[in-house]
């Protein structure tokens, strides 16, 4: 009896201790769901002055040569967009956003999403995308522009009141210097890019005018300039000293650098000398750097943050049903432009045999891949970026070998081709896979599908550092990868993907590169579309890659955030100029 | 004194090993920098760019010169600068180490509060239902991976309170309440695992001690249970528990990386993880040497504590 009493007393004591701990911890969490605490908005100011409306296209000054309408950059996304706010914008408040990584430095030209989503907010380009409809290119540092009839000359008229965050004025020298350093980068300087391959020379006839001459017309030239988060204009007085922009934080955007606590947050504050009077509305933006997907969703649900930054915001399709149930959040899907494909090494047997490549292409059930990897939310497609005005309708692909269902016919044909190529029982191969994002899942699904015809792929999962090293030196049989599209244009999706100059196909196949260059220079939309379709047909013949799908992702925004359009494209990071908080 | 002096060759050896390992491990930091972590613009990577970056970062020098340069930074107590951001390792460590230390101390305290009573009780009530219950719970704690328990913590908070701890960690002097509300949850999740390990050791040690003649004598003298357990048994059972606790504490200082990632805690673990993924050599090397030094010092402190607990043990 005594022993049982002693035991009971001990248990009671222990239980009390445990309960005490839990109560103590619980006291650190509120009982009811609190509203999260972005910085309190100041008292409503008198109605903010209406911002100067930038022209949707450049009016330009009358000139001797006719000024054709600037070609649209991309087609409107098929997904519906939130209607623009109709109430008068309120000034003040700190917008809280999620970023899914920690920027290692601040050079946005390198194109890493974490850097673009944070440091990119501080910058401005000559042009930018209209955040309500990113098929339109609108003025940014350039107040207006003209294009010559032959598409080989662009004249940009710089704003006179644009300032750098360190107080110096933005000049045409800055424009010329920055673009010059992108066209001919210094070793170890700004990132190489193919966006300006067509630029022949840049002239500055006066203090506010920049003439850019192209060696050939380029459909994607203006969209490339509009990507401020990848192709910003940088200050000459800083860039010529530091050569690269990894440690520099001076830009000309609406927000300037405030602080970066690594692993925790990246914060910017309003730049009071921004060139659009009355803008921005926000006092600042605070980016929480959250690596864990569960924590990102939790932070959004509990209103610790108000929206997810595109691309690096990291929500998954499986998060959508959860978010859609929360009152006060709007969830909008958007096309990221990221493409997923597998690329065989054309220098390696048996992938150098087009029959083997065709067999591997035919057997893949893309609908199943989309379902298993993206819960059916991605855009299955071919070599042309989707959704996009140049892409073919899905009905076209549904009839193609490799896409049609059921798969019996394709699988039979694949086996026949393999036998013809000398591999009736299949073969073993090695697939290099980056251990991040969707790549491991995608490669696992692909492996299972290839096994149906005896292609036994060993998945070589590697960290980003190792995968990058081996990717660029083509040390792989199959590269199971994808990439983000720099701009929502086939120039970028093809140029970074199947026609990437790093890889063998682009170096050796003249016809593909001729068609690619031709479409790039064709300014007429209908003609360009025809060339792109010819190119895609040719790529389906040669199969330098096996396309799967183009990614989509959910963007989630709490309803007090107004004036925020959801642009397509993983790099189309919002500049937040017109965003305001209704609270 | 002699043990303290042995610290120097130990750390020197560790520094050489980690320096060489990082140079051998695949992954080119210059390529990562030029391509933005391997993603980049997908454009051409020129050899001149790689060479220029390597020269800028001092990676083109012979290995022994790179080692000497880094050791010079270590001896100047600044650890060098990040290859990516240029920020001083020492400044980052000054900012992050207190956070990790606070989390480790909180975890350690919670684990001791749970493990010692449960271990002792489990030993005293061997083969009763309470003993089985504690053992099941402690095995569960050891088996449960911290990334899972961390995720469970977040889920529990969201589902129950529709709340998660504040993002970002203020200084203990600025806002101790917010700091506490942020760290208590990961500390409990981590503490559960630590408590499970220490509890099992406490139980084993107590069982061994309780079988000793002097304990039987104490019972026979009619002393109260509390006196027998605390004054006679526990003190002698604590020696292996202290050893284990010291090792566990050392692990905590570098092993909270998963919890730091899940709950956005800017500690040493997440800093080291980020550096590993980006091949930021000075950061990796300096942090590893720092953690090694702390680990060795903690174990020295444990050994000294031995001497205090057991007068028979004396060190040179």
Query: Does the distance separating the beta carbons of A115 and B43 come in below 8 Å?
Result: no
Interface test with chain B among A2, A21, A243, A292, by most B beta carbons within 10 Å: A292
Whether B251 has a pLDDT exceeding 50, the answer reads yes
- Any idea what the Cα angle at residue B232 is, between residues B227 and B237, rounded to 5°? 125
Mean pLDDT of A343-355: 96
Closest alpha carbon within chain A to B158: A298
Beta bridge partners of A284: A94, A269
pLDDT tens column, B148-159: 888 888 888 888
The reply to whether residue B36 touches residue A466, judged by beta carbons under 8 angstroms, is: no
CB contact under 8 A, B39 and A186: no
| Cis peptide, bond prior to residue A280, ω within 30 of zero | yes
Provide CB contacts within 8 A for A519, sequence distance 6+: A219, A490, A491, A528, A531, A532, A535
| Beta carbons of A24 and B180 less than 8 angstroms apart | no
DSSP A88: P
Q: Does B188 touch chain A (CB under 8 A)?
A: yes
Tell me whether B49 touches chain A (CB under 8 Å): yes
CB atoms within 10 A of CB A207: 11
| Helices then strands, each counted (H, E), chain B | 14, 0
* A429 touches A458 (CB < 8 A): yes
Cβ–Cβ under 8 Å, residues B85 and B275: no
Between A30 and B106, the more confident residue is: B106
Element spanning B248, H or E:
helix B235-255
For strand A478-483 and strand A329-344, is the pairing parallel, antiparallel, or unpaired?
Answer: antiparallel
- In this predicted structure, what is the pLDDT of residue A224? 87
CB contact under 8 A, A299 and B164: yes
Least confident of A27-41, B183-197, B268-282: A27-41
Taking a C-beta distance cutoff of 8 angstroms, is the pair A377, A333 a contact? yes
CB atoms within 10 A of CB B228: 21
A287 DSSP β-pair partners: A97, A266
Going by pLDDT thresholds of 50, 70 and 90, the confidence category of residue A9 is low
Q: What is the dihedral of CA A349, A355, A357, A363, to 10 degrees?
A: -130
B122: closest CA of chain A, how far (Å)? 10
More reliable by pLDDT, A335 or A341: A341
Q: How far is CA A210 from CA A126, A141, A204, B234, in A?
A: 10, 12, 5, 83
**What chain A residue is nearest to B156 in terms of C-alpha separation?**
A298
Residue A277 CB partners (closer than 8 Å, separation 6+): A49, A51, A52
Computed from CA positions of residues A540, A542, A543, A545, in that sequence, does the dihedral angle turn out positive or negative?
negative
In this structure, chain A runs to a length of 583
> What's chain B's length in residues?
316
Using alpha carbons, select from A82, A94, A106, A252 the residue that is nearest to residue A165: A252
At residue A46, does pLDDT exceed 60? Answer: no
Q: Does B274 touch chain A (CB under 8 A)?
A: yes
Say if the ipTM goes beyond 0.95. no
Chain A's closest residue to B33, CA to CA, is A110
- Residue A18 pLDDT: 57
Residue pLDDT, tens place only, A504-563: 999 999 999 999 999 999 999 999 999 999 999 999 999 999 999 998 888 889 999 998
* Structure tokens given for A572: 């189309």
- pLDDT category at A404 given cuts 50, 70, 90 is very high
| Per-residue pLDDT band at A190 (split at 50, 70, 90) | confident
Which structure tokens are listed for A267?
Answer: 């914060």
Question: Which of B44, B48, B266 has its CB closest to that of A187?
Answer: B48
Of the candidate ranges A74-88, A173-187, B15-29, B39-53, the one whose mean pLDDT is the lowest: A74-88
CB contact under 8 A, A191 and B260: no
Given an 8 Å threshold on Cβ–Cβ distance, is A264 in contact with B168? yes
Residue B26 scores a pLDDT above 90: no
Q: What share of chain A in percent tops pLDDT 90?
A: 55
Contact call for residues A523 and A219 (beta carbons, < 8 A): yes
Instruction: Name the minimum distance, in Å, from the CA of A503 to any CA of chain B.
Output: 10
pLDDT for B274: 86
Report how far residue A97's alpha carbon sits from residue A533's, in angstroms, rounded to the nearest whole number: 39
* Number of inter-chain CB pairs under 8 A, A vs B: 230
**Phi, psi dihedral angles at B7 (to 5 degrees):** -60, -35
Point out the residue among A31, A262, A290 whose CB comes nearest to the CB of B92.
Answer: A262
Which residues of chain A are within 8 Å of residue B37 when distances are taken between CB atoms? 104, 112, 464, 468
B264 to A263: CB separation less than 8 angstroms, yes or no: yes
CA atoms of B246 and B109, how far apart (whole Å):
12
Per-residue pLDDT tens over the stretch B285-308: 999 999 999 888 888 888 888 777
pLDDT at position B38 is 56
Confidence tier at B7 by pLDDT (50, 70, 90): confident
Mean pLDDT of A360-387: 93
Long-range contacts of B295-301 (CB under 8 A, 24+ apart): B295/B250, B295/B253, B296/B7, B296/B10, B296/B11, B297/B7, B298/B246, B298/B249, B298/B250, B299/B246, B299/B247, B299/B250, B300/B3, B300/B4, B300/B7, B301/B246
Q: Look at residue A170 and tell me whether its pLDDT is greater than 50.
A: yes
At A113 the pLDDT is 80
At residue A102, the pLDDT reads 85
Query: Considering only alpha carbons, which residue of chain B is nearest residue A186?
Result: B49
- Report chain A residues whose CB lies below 8 A from the CB of B185: 25, 28
Query: How close A34 comes to chain B (CA, Å)?
Result: 7
Three-state DSSP at A224 gives helix
CB contact under 8 A, B41 and A111: yes
The residue that leads in pLDDT, A445 or B174, is A445
Look at residues A36, A39, A15 and name the one whose alpha carbon lies nearest to residue A300.
Answer: A36
Q: Of B39, B52, B168, which is closest to A188 when you measure between CB atoms?
A: B52
Q: Exposed (0-12), middle (13-18) or buried (19+): which is A78, by Cβ within 10 Å? A: exposed
Minimum CA–CA partner of A265 in chain B: B168
Residue A87, pLDDT above cutoff 80:
no
Predicted TM-score (pTM) of this structure:
0.82
Structure tokens given for A207: 């203090």
For chain A, give the percent of residues with pLDDT over 70. Answer: 83
- The DSSP code for A220 is T
pLDDT of residue A16: 57
Q: Which one of B40, B262, B280 has the shortest CB-CB distance to A111?
A: B40
Distance CA B150, CA B156 (A): 10
Please state the rounded mean pLDDT for residues B173-191: 87
Note the pLDDT of residue A433.
95
Angstrom distance (rounded) from CA B71 to CA B258: 29
CA dist A578 and A558 (Å) reads 16
B45 touches chain A (CB under 8 A): yes
Task: Kindly state the average pLDDT of the residues A318-330.
Answer: 86
B171/chain A closest Cα distance in angstroms:
13
B110, B163, B277 ranked by CB distance to A33: nearest? B163
Max distance between CA atoms of chain A, in angstroms, equals: 109
Q: Is B152 on the interface with A (CB under 8 A)?
A: no
Local confidence band at A352 (pLDDT 50, 70, 90 cut-offs):
very high
pLDDT of residue A564: 85
Helix (H) or strand (E) holding B217: helix B213-220
Q: Which of B24, B31, B38 best probes binding to A when mutated, by most A CB atoms within 10 angstroms? A: B38
State the average pLDDT for chain A. 83
* Average per-residue pLDDT for chain B: 86
Does the beta-carbon distance from B35 to A25 stay under 8 Å? no
Closest residue in B to A229 (Cα–Cα)? B41
- Per-residue confidence (pLDDT) for residue B39, from 0 to 100: 56
The answer to whether the CB atoms of B167 and A290 lie below 8 A apart is yes
CA distance A165 to chain B (A): 20
Q: What is the pLDDT of residue A561?
A: 94
User: Which stretches of A122-264 are assigned E, i.e. beta strand?
Assistant: 127-129, 137-139, 142-147, 153-158, 199-206, 209-214, 255-261
The residues facing A169 across adjacent strands are A163
CA distance A374 to A77: 19
* Among candidate residues A156, A116, A139, the one with its CA nearest the CA of residue A487: A116
CB contact under 8 Å between A468 and B32, yes or no, is yes
Q: What residue of A is the nearest CA neighbor of B95? A: A261
Nearest CA in chain A to B86: A247
CB contact under 8 A, B84 and A262: no
Distance CA A500, CA A472 (A): 11
Is B278 in contact with A104 (Cβ distance < 8 A)?
yes
A465 contacts in chain B (CB < 8 Å): 26-29, 32, 38, 277-279
Best mutation target among B22, B31, B40 (most A Cβ atoms within 10 Å) is B40
Chain A hits for B96, CB-CB cut-off 8 Å, are: 263
| B55 touches A: beta carbon within 8 Å | yes
pLDDT tens digits, one per residue of A119-162: 999 999 999 888 777 778 889 999 999 999 999 999 999 999 99
Question: How far is the C-alpha of A385 from the C-alpha of A46, rounded, in Å?
Answer: 46
- Whether residues A110 and B41 touch (CB distance < 8 A) is answered with yes
pLDDT confidence of residue A40 = 31
Average pLDDT of the residues in A326-338: 86
Q: What is the distance in angstroms between the Cα of A465 and the nearest Cα belonging to chain B?
A: 5
Which one, of B110, B140, B101, B67, lies nearest residue B253 by Cα? B101
Residue A561's nearest CA partner among A331, A260, A333 is: A331
Contact call for B87 and A262, based on CB within 8 A? yes
């Amino acid at each position: 009896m005594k022993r049982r009493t002693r035991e009971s007393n001990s248990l009671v004591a222990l239980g009390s201790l445990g309960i005490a701990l839990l109560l103590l911890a619980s006291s650190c969490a509120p009982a009811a769901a609190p509203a999260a605490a972005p910085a309190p908005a100041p008292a409503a100011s008198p109605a903010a002055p209406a911002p100067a409306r930038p022209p949707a296209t450049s009016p330009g000054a009358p000139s001797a040569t006719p000024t054709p309408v600037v070609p649209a950059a991309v087609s409107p996304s098929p997904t519906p967009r939130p209607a623009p706010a109709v109430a008068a914008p309120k000034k003040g408040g700190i917008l809280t956003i999620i970023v899914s990584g920690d920027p290692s430095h601040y050079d946005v030209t390198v194109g890493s999403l974490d850097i673009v989503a944070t440091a990119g907010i501080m910058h401005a380009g000559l042009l930018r995308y209209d955040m309500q409809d990113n098929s339109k290119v609108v003025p940014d540092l350039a107040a207006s522009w003209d294009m010559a009839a032959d598409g080989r000359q662009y004249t940009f008229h710089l704003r006179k009141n644009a300032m750098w965050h360190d107080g110096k004025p933005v000049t045409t020298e800055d424009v010329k210097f920055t673009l010059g350093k992108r066209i001919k980068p210094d070793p170890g300087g700004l990132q190489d890019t193919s966006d300006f391959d067509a630029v022949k020379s840049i002239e500055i006839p006066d203090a506010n005018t920049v003439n850019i001459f192209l060696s050939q017309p380029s459909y994607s030239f203006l969209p490339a300039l509009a990507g401020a988060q990848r192709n910003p204009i940088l200050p000459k007085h800083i860039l010529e000293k530091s050569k690269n922009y990894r440690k520099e934080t001076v830009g000309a955007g609406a927000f300037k650098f405030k602080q970066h606590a690594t692993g925790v947050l990246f914060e910017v504050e309003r730049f009071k000398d921004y060139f659009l009077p009355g803008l921005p509305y926000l006092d600042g933006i605070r980016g929480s750097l959250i690596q864990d997907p569960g924590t990102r969703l939790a932070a959004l649900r509990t209103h610790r943050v108000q929206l997810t930054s595109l691309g690096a915001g990291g929500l998954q399709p499986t998060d959508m049903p959860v978010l859609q149930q929360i009152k006060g959040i709007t969830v909008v899907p958007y096309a990221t432009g990221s493409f997923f494909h597998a690329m065989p090494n054309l220098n390696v047997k048996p992938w150098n045999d087009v029959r083997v490549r065709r067999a591997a292409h035919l057997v893949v059930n893309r609908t199943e891949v989309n379902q298993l990897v993206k819960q059916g939310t991605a855009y299955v497609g071919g070599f042309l970026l989707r959704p996009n005005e140049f892409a073919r309708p899905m009905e076209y692909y549904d009839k193609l070998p490799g896409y049609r269902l059921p798969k019996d016919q394709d699988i039979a044909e694949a086996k026949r081709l393999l036998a013809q190529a000398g591999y009736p029982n299949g073969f073993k191969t090695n697939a290099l896979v980056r251990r991040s994002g969707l790549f491991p899942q995608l490669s696992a699904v692909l492996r299972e599908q290839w096994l149906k015809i005896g292609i036994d792929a060993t998945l070589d999962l590697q960290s980003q550092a190792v995968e990058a090293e081996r990717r660029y030196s083509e040390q792989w049989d199959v590269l199971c990868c994808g990439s983000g599209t720099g701009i929502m244009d086939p120039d970028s999706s093809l140029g970074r993907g199947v026609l990437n100059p790093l890889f063998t196909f682009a170096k050796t196949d003249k016809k593909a590169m001729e068609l690619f260059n031709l479409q790039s220079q064709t300014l007429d939309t209908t003609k360009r579309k025809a060339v792109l379709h010819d190119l895609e047909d040719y790529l389906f013949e040669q199969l330098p890659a096996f396309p799967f799908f183009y990614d989509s992702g959910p963007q989630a925004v709490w309803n007090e955030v107004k004036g925020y359009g959801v642009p397509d494209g993983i790099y189309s990071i919002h500049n937040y100029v017109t965003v305001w908080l209704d609270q | 004194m002699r043990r303290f002096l042995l610290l120097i060759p130990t750390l020197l050896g560790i520094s050489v090993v980690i320096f060489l390992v990082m140079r051998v491990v695949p992954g080119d930091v210059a390529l990562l920098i030029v391509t933005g972590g391997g993603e980049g613009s997908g454009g051409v990577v020129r050899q001149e760019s790689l060479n220029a970056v390597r020269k800028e970062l001092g990676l083109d020098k012979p290995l022994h010169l790179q080692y000497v340069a880094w050791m010079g930074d270590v001896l100047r107590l600044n650890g060098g600068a990040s290859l990516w951001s240029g920020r001083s390792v020492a400044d980052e460590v000054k900012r992050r180490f207190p956070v990790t230390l606070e989390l480790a101390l909180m975890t350690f305290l919670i684990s001791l509060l749970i493990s010692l009573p449960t271990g002792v009780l489990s030993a005293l009530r061997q083969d009763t239902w309470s003993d089985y219950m504690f053992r099941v719970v402690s095995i569960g704690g050891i088996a449960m991976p911290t990334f899972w328990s961390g995720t469970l913590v977040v889920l529990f908070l969201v589902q129950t309170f529709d709340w998660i701890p504040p993002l970002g960690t203020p200084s203990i002097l600025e806002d101790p309440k917010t700091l506490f509300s942020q760290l208590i949850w990961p500390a409990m999740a981590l503490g559960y695992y630590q408590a499970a390990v220490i509890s099992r050791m406490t139980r084993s040690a107590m069982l061994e001690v309780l079988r000793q003649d002097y304990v039987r004598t104490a019972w026979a003298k009619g002393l109260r249970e509390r006196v027998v357990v605390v004054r006679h048994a526990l003190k002698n059972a604590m020696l292996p528990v202290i050893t284990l606790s010291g090792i566990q504490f050392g692990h905590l200082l570098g092993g909270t990386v998963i919890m730091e990632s899940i709950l956005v805690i800017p500690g040493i673990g997440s800093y080291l993880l980020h550096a590993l993924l980006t091949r930021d050599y000075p950061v990796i090397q300096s942090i590893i040497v720092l953690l090694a030094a702390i680990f060795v010092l903690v174990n020295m402190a444990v050994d000294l504590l031995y001497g205090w607990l057991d007068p028979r043990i004396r060190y040179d």
